[in-house]
Amino acid sequence: MKVLYNDDFIEKEDARVDIEDRGYQFGDGVYEVIRVYNGTLFTLKEHTERLFKSAKEIGIHLQGAVSDMEEKLKQLVAHNQLTDGGVYIQVTRGVAPRKHQYGNSLTPQITAYTFQVKKPVHEQTAGVKAIISEDLRWLRCDIKSLNLLYNVMEKQKASEAGAFEAILIRDGFVTEGTSSNVYAVIDGVIRTHPANNLILNGITRRKLLEVCEEEGSSVKETRISKEELLGAQEIFISSTTAEVIPIVEIDGQPVGEGVPGELTNQFTGTQLFLTVGRIF
């Protein structure tokens, strides 16, 4: 299996991270997860552009064009003959003796590899449980930072409670999940947090909103209060690897009838996506 190591494709076994890499020591870097369907990188441009944007936001200057990076990722998928799976790519600020300040002479380190993904058919069909957690992350959640400590901790808490995801609440309002965007159907309208600094503007989220618009589904980017969430008719989450998964129970209480809802099923049943022919 090949991995991308800066400009080169090398065998995974030969890839070594320097112990003074700032990604390793500080979580000082950014990343993307991109889905591969049938050998094609889905929404590659959107992901690559977001990677460049995240890097720029934290002052990492990536050499080369977005299109060069896209080409490299396509080559990686081809090298590994991946048909269905994903690509993980990360960029760290570089390698230097450990001190907090980083100056301006470091060379960003780029690594990427492919992995298999099992489409979460059971979760999409039956729905999953979620817990509610407080959102104690920093205020730049729009940056896809390697620093995922709080996300990791809350996901673990969910997992230990037998749940799939922790839905985060800041100041009484739902922001997102630890690794997904969150939607609730309230009075027949699909609602989700606006794309600002408090959430990651998911690529899946953007595609879903586009599809809803085209299909004339009622959707609003407005905040959902915790009370509204608990009384919602339907709840679902979206992400690159999860696609769309219904939430049927929150903190031990059923959501709606306790089974995936009608509007949610439009997305998970792939019916809508087949019609549109662009997603999943």
Binding span for ligand PDD by CB under 6 A among 51-59, 111-119, 235-243, 263-271? 235-243
| Interface size with ligand PDD, residues (CB under 6 A) | 15
Geometric angle at alpha carbon 234, from 232 and 235, rounded to 5°: 95
Nearer to ligand PDD, 60 or 168 (CB): 168
Residue at shortest CB range from ligand PDD = 202
Q: Is 198 in the site for ligand PDD (CB under 6 A)?
A: no
125 with 160: CB under 8 angstroms? no
The candidate with the shortest Cα–Cα distance to 45, out of 34, 30, 56, is 34
Residue type, 246: P
Which residues form the catalytic set? 144
Q: Which DSSP letter does residue 21 get?
A: B
Q: How far apart are CA 208 and CA 229, in angstroms?
A: 20
Taking the complex as a whole, how short is the minimal distance between the CB of residue 62 and ligand PDD, in angstroms? Answer: 19
54 part of the interface to ligand PDD, by CB under 6 A: no
The least CB distance from residue 151 to ligand PDD, in Å, is: 6
Token pair recorded at residue 145: 């930072």
Give the nearer residue to ligand PDD in terms of CB position, either 87 or 186.
87
Based on the shown chain and the rule CB under 6 A, indicate whether residue 147 belongs to the binding site for ligand PDD: no
* 214 close to 276: Cβ distance less than 8 angstroms: yes
Residues at the site binding ligand PDD, with contacts judged by CB under 6 A: 33, 151, 176, 179-181, 200, 202-205, 238-241
